A and B are shown apart, each in its own frame.
Chain A
Amino acid sequence: MSKKVFSRPRSLKEAVFHYCPGCGHSIAHRLVAEVIDELDIRSRVIGIPPAGCAVLAYNYFDVDMIEAQHGRGPATATGIKRARPDSIVFSYQGDGDLAAIGIAESLHAANRGENITVIFINNACYGMTGGQMAPTTMLQQRTTTTPSGRNNILDGYPVKVSEIFSRLPGVTYLERVTVNSPAGVNKTKKAIKKAFRCQIDGLGFSLIEILSPCPTNWKLSPVDSCKWIDDVMSKEFPLGVFKDNTGAGKKTGEAAP
């Protein structure tokens, strides 16, 4: 007798991902969908795709979604969550979206402690537009707009989102993970689950930074891309839990009544 051990998550549509071979988005999408299924929250999830490679995420996620303009996901998420507090809201953002054009919206949503979840894909470049320098591009990394490599004097330094955001009192849970190995994928799923759980329990802002391979724009094979995350990227962006206040319970208001 046969037993079904692997199937498409209910929260993913029957569609073929358009992502490049070796791209981390497909894995991240699947993990988010699996977590939504396992936590049984699909009925009240509202997701926000970004501008970027994941702009068509509404073609893949079988949950309610509203597309945000570039970088504005956390502002739109704030509007949704405050107007409909029983919904489970996640914003899916890339590094340009979160750490460049939308850093104000992202930082202030975190600072307000909005009870939302941000899935942050850090692939060290602007993927959809053809591999330009992102705020998270590594020093010396070649991109189409840093053809001789990122120069700290001219182009600044990689922006460390998890390090910066974890300092904000509004942030409840923040972890940096990667999807470059089976162990990393499992860890990433656990982190995503914890972040959504944090929201379900009303504990506040959660953000999962995922170091994600972009073989096409890194000009590396998928296997070498996974290796590059281990050898180079995770040295600049160390993995780990940067903030975990989920044990502290719900935040209480401190304003005068």
Chain B
Amino acid sequence: MNKVLMSGNNIIGEAAIRSGCRFYAGYPITPQNELTEYMAEHMREAPGGVFIQSESEIAAIHMIIGASATGARVMTSSSSPGISLKQEGISSMAACELPGVIVNIMRGGPGLGNIRPAQGDYFQATRGGGHGDYRTIVFGPATCQELADLTMSAYDLADKYRTPVMILADGMMGQMMEPVIFKKPKPRHYNENFILKGAGSGKSKFIRGLILDAIDMEEHNWKLERKYQVIKARETLHEEHRTEDAKLVIVAYGTAARIAKGAIKRLRDNGMQVGLFRPITLWPFPEAELRALSARVKKFLVFEMSTGQMLDDVRLALQGYADIEFHGRPGGVVPTPSELANVIARHYKETGK
């Protein structure tokens, strides 16, 4: 397998096509346009591949719903304000149990915000985002290699659990270039019974999220919840970096985790025992794994490019067993590793060595 140098947005597109994605619909929005453009150029080269520049974000998500219902592997992508518009459809996909991959290359918000990298959509992504009782599997890649690998995993999980999966990255991840190896995608296993292709000579099928009877609707909600519990038990991913002897552990994901690694290198060079706990799945959040770490680490520093959203999940996971500090830079500010190192060092000194 050859290493190729590509930008993050293009890597997602290439990984999707290699995974068998044959339907992409999207609408222009910075900083994810390269992904839409990559799909425009390459999707139609794939056999049966469909690319549509939709009239809106809303139309894009509903187009992929239609294509997904007919059994195609599908993708749509956008950035923060556009993802807000897609939430109607994401909720619908969860309700109708339709697989699909949604990419959010986050920018500064709220509102139109700006086009700089930020992590302000964590709540929206991990709490479902749209209306109703549902969850979305969310990956928070931190390297270009992970963009490729996790895009492929996203298709596997979307099919396996018949649910939408989100790739949550930011403008920096989308624009940066790194060498990447595209692994061989796993063969697809998807139950034909869930595919609409016309009734043939047999019984007709329908796909719906409308369930008027309250008891039936409740049962559907519990059915989805049972599925989410299985996902939680089986699909949680995280990385630990230099936590073995750490007295203070940073909790960060995506671009923030890259910055944290740079800061940790500096601090380790100065003899400070600090490490990183990096959630790779943001939902399900690796709460048991983080709690386990609190048996030997008594201080955690949550670092996010937001005012503190994942912070809530860290609090819920640690349940008061350890001290939690927070450092945040919202609005599109990307702090340097040395800035973060100074913050960490200050808290580290308070641990009393």
Q: List chain A positions with a Cβ less than 8 A from chain B.
A: 42-46, 48, 55-56, 58, 61-69, 72, 75-84, 87-88, 104-105, 107-108
Contact = CB atoms under 8 A, between A and B. Distances in A.
Interface stretch (B194-202, B214-222, B255-263, B275-283): B194-202
Given A55-B210, A62-B199, A83 B52 contact: no
Interface stretch (B64-72, B112-120, B143-151, B293-301): B64-72
A80 B198 contact: no
B66 A64 contact: no
B92 A46 contact: no
Contacts of A87: 70, 197-198
Contacts of B59: 72, 75, 78, 104-105, 108
A63 B204 contact: yes
A69 B208 contact: no
A149 to B, nearest CB: 32
Contact of B88 (A44, A67, A69): A69
Interface residues of B, number: 41
Contact of B198 (A43, A58, A78, A79): A43
Interface string B67-100: 1111110100000000000001100100010000
Contacts of B351: none
Nearest to A75: B62
**Interface class of chain B by DSSP:** mixed
Pairs A-B, 6 closest by C-beta atoms: A79-B66, A44-B198, A75-B62, A83-B67, A108-B55, A58-B206
B107 interface: no
A72 B62 contact: yes
B198 A46 contact: yes
Contacts of B198: 42-46, 63-64, 87-88
B69 A78 contact: no
B206 A65 contact: yes
Contacts of B65: 66, 68, 72, 75-76, 79
Given A46-B198, A75-B58, A83 B92 contact: no
Contacts of A43: 198-201
Contacts, number: 138
Given A68-B62, A69-B92, A72-B58, A80 B67 contact: yes
Given A63-B204, A66-B96, A67-B207, 15 more contacts: A43-B200, A44-B197, A46-B198, A64-B206, A65-B207, A67-B210, A69-B62, A75-B58, A75-B62, A75-B63, A79-B65, A82-B63, A83-B70, A83-B71, A88-B198
Nearest to B212: A56
B67 to A, nearest CB: 4
Contacts of A79: 23, 25, 62-70, 74
A82 B207 contact: no
Contacts of B124: none
B162 interface: no
A61 B196 CA distance: 15
Contact of A82 (B23, B89, B204, B209): B23
B205 interface: yes
B200 A83 contact: no
5 contacts: A46-B197, A56-B210, A67-B210, A69-B89, A76-B62
B243 interface: no
B151 to A, nearest CB: 20
A45 B204 CA distance: 10
B22 A83 contact: yes
B246 interface: no
Of B196, B197, B200, B204, most buried by chain A (CB within 10 Å of CB) is B204
Contacts of B58: 72, 75, 104-105
A12 to B, nearest CB: 11
Contacts of A48: 66
A56 B213 CA distance: 13
Of A64, A77, A79, A84, most buried by chain B (CB within 10 Å of CB) is A79
B334 to A, nearest CB: 35
A42 B202 CA distance: 10
A48 B63 CA distance: 12
Given A43-B199, A64-B196, A87-B198, A75 B54 contact: yes
A63 B67 CA distance: 17
Interface string B289-317: 00000000000000000000000000000
B195 to A, nearest CB: 9
B114 to A, nearest CB: 26
B207 A63 contact: no
Interface in B147-162: none
A158 to B, nearest CB: 24
A78 B197 contact: no
A200 to B, nearest CB: 13
Contacts of A83: 22-23, 48, 50, 66-67, 70-72, 74
A87 B96 CA distance: 21
Interface string B34-58: 0000000000000010101011101
Of A48, A66, A80, most buried by chain B (CB within 10 Å of CB) is A66
Contacts of B88: 69, 72
A88 to B, nearest CB: 7
A48 B198 CA distance: 12
B52 A105 contact: no
A76 B209 CA distance: 14
Nearest to B55: A108
Given A64-B205, A68-B62, A82 B67 contact: yes
B89 A72 contact: yes
